[in-house]
Amino acid sequence: MTECEKCGLIVGLGCACNLAPAVSRRPYESTYRSARFGPGTLLISSRNMAHIPGACEHMTEEQVLNPENGWGWIPNPDPGLWNRISASHPAQATEGDTSRAAKVRCKDCAANLAS
């Protein structure tokens, strides 16, 4: 058994350093580029609406990062959080404007996530 020099895992038994990256199921991820937010980040607008970076055209990274616009975000949300967002299960921002809590999902983002 050979240990990978990069990750320390056993080659062929957990190490994926030499595997080709998987192709994303979400077409928007291949064109999305951000200096601050990864495509899994949950963005929360001042209207308490959840967005996914790159999945809709409602905002820019500059708008989200501007404190005057009141955006909050969750950089590494729990898996499935997007699907649980509702008025009875809001997603509380952990960064940016942490008073924001997503109670609804952007319909355009939801459509892109489903495609």
pTM (two decimals): 0.70
Question: What is the extent of the structural domain holding 46?
Answer: 36-114
When divided into structural domains, the chain yields a total of 1
Cβ neighbours of residue 31 closer than 8 Å, sequence gap 6 or more? 54
- Whether residue 15 is contained in a domain is answered as no
- Whether residue 80 is contained in a domain is answered as yes
- Whether residue 92 is contained in a domain is answered as yes
Q: Which two tokens stand for residue 66?
A: 């501007």
- Whether residue 30 is contained in a domain is answered as no
Starting at the earlier edge strand, list the strands of the sheet with 42-44. Answer: 95-96, 72-74, 42-44, 49-51, 104-105
Q: What's the confidence (pLDDT) of residue 78? A: 87
- Whether residue 59 is contained in a domain is answered as yes
- Residue numbers of the chain with a pLDDT score lower than 50: 20-25
- Whether residue 44 is contained in a domain is answered as yes
- Whether residue 9 is contained in a domain is answered as no
Do 101 and 92 meet the contact criterion of CB atoms below 8 Å apart?
yes
- Whether residue 19 is contained in a domain is answered as no
Q: What's the confidence (pLDDT) of residue 111? A: 87
